[in-house]
Amino acid sequence: MTALQENRVTRHAGPDHLVLSEHPVFRHFWYVVCSVDDLTTEPEPGRRGVAPLHRRVLGTDLVVWRPDPAGPVSVAHDRCAHRDAPLSMGWVTGCHLVCAYHGWEWDADGTTKRIPQFPDSPHPTKSGLTMVASAERYGLVWVCLATEAEGGPVAGIPEVAEWDDPAWRRVPEGSWDFDCTAMHLVENNIDPGHVAFVHRNSFGNPDNPELTDQNVERRPYGLVTWTDVPVEGRPGEDGATVRHTWSQVHLPFFMHLLIRYPDGLGHVMLKAITPVDDRSCVIHQVVLRTDTEADRPAADIRAFDHQVELEDKDLLDRLPDEFPLAQHLNAHAKADRNSLLLRRMYTELVTGQWTPGASQ
């Protein structure tokens, strides 16, 4: 075992840490499984039918497919009721999902349509798919694992005012896998102290780490924090400057980060973080900008943000596997106020003292 691997072994176990699978409340939120563009409706050459996608949310394996190119997406648990084959190994043809093992077929809402060996015999009662609620928003496909019988979602997909505002252009950036908890990644994104150090090779400067102000307040959806962060400038901009960031965390794991540069340029980052399981997550990111493609090509914006995400990933992937909630587990300084409020709100969420939308 290398020293780095050793650092990942759990240092503290027990109720002082947040382990997602221990708290059913996390099943009641919307998470992104893919971008709309990830769902092809054209078969690959040499392959029968269109391949569905396999995704994992909170340790649950899902199959994601588009039954009809003009229709909505379908999502189900990735297990065939017949002999447990992963449905994501199958294919989509003629608006039906086909199991790769014995060829049973289902329609868009998971109703069994065909059992090919004896097609005229009745379908067993438990042969249908276990469907999962899904929606398409911001060019992304969202799911909520909690069924209606379980109470469904406790909060809607967050509203983003800039999305339909023509002053803002859309720059989808794709996704990155992180080998850390979803909570660690949210905490990192509202941590003004890390920028000068983790991002020293992109836009941070360890010789200029001081913060002039930092504000954080609770909101019905979670929290908002605003800070001036010293930066070295974005690509194409020379000289040190200050970046005003205004970050909303819609608990548990969605963020809307508004960055205002001194020249007025607006840069919004939608960060939809999906908990894959207790120890890993994926971030789906969409940027909205007030400049034009001629000012800054989308490819340059993506390349820069890719570098920044990988700088965070390099560090976060090596943090311990459990997310600490109890205050005594870490040392905290003045720049950690955002983190402390976030940890307190996660504690309130899992103990039922607070749910998004409830009064504070």
Beta strands per DSSP E along 99-213 = 105-106, 112-114, 133-137, 140-144, 169-178
Please list the residues that pair with 231 across neighbouring strands.
241
Nearer to ligand FES, 105 or 309 (CB): 105
Do 322 and 12 form a contact (C-beta atoms < 8 A)? yes
Distance CA 75, CA 130 (A): 9
**Contacting range for ligand FES; rule: CB under 6 A; set: 7-15, 77-85, 251-259, 332-340:** 77-85
Beta strands per DSSP E along 47-104 = 53-57, 60-65, 74-77, 91-93, 96-98
Q: Work out whether 123 is an interface residue with ligand FES (CB under 6 A).
A: no
Q: Which two tokens stand for residue 198?
A: 């983790």
Q: How far is CA 19 from CA 23, 24, 79, 147, 163, in A?
A: 7, 11, 25, 21, 33
Q: Which two tokens stand for residue 320?
A: 């311990």
Residue 101: which of ligand FES, Co ion, none does it interact with, CB under 5 to 8 A by kind? ligand FES
Residue 114: which of ligand FES, Co ion, none does it interact with, CB under 5 to 8 A by kind? none
Nearer to ligand FES, 18 or 80 (CB): 80
Distance CA 283, CA 184 (A): 12
Residue 258: which of Co ion, ligand FES, none does it interact with, CB under 5 to 8 A by kind? none
Residue 319: which of ligand FES, Co ion, none does it interact with, CB under 5 to 8 A by kind? none
> For ligand FES, what does the binding mask look like between residues 101 and 120, x meaning CB under 6 A?
xx-x----------------
Residue 102: which of Co ion, ligand FES, none does it interact with, CB under 5 to 8 A by kind? ligand FES
Nearer to Co ion, 17 or 199 (CB): 199
Do 29 and 154 form a contact (C-beta atoms < 8 A)? yes
Name the DSSP class of 336: G
Q: Which two tokens stand for residue 215?
A: 């504000």
The residue assigned the tokens 């893919």 is: 34
Residues 87-126 that bind Co ion (CB under 5 A): none
Q: Work out whether 82 is an interface residue with ligand FES (CB under 6 A).
A: yes
Q: Work out whether 12 is an interface residue with ligand FES (CB under 6 A).
A: no
Helices and strands (DSSP H and E) totals, the chain: 5, 19
Q: Work out whether 129 is an interface residue with ligand FES (CB under 6 A).
A: no
**Contacting range for ligand FES; rule: CB under 6 A; set: 69-77, 82-90, 145-153, 170-178:** 82-90
Report, in Å, the least distance between residue 176 CB and Co ion: 12
Please list the residues that pair with 130 across neighbouring strands.
none
Q: Which two tokens stand for residue 354?
A: 């607070």
Nearer to ligand FES, 25 or 89 (CB): 89
**Contacting range for Co ion; rule: CB under 5 A; set: 17-25, 176-184, 266-274, 304-312:** 304-312
Report, in Å, the least distance between residue 81 CB and ligand FES: 8
**Contacting range for Co ion; rule: CB under 5 A; set: 131-139, 245-253, 299-307, 310-318:** 310-318
Distance CA 319, CA 184 (A): 9
Q: Work out whether 312 is an interface residue with Co ion (CB under 5 A).
A: yes
Contacts with Co ion by CB under 5 A lie at 312
Contacts with ligand FES by CB under 6 A lie at 80, 82-83, 85, 99, 101-102, 104
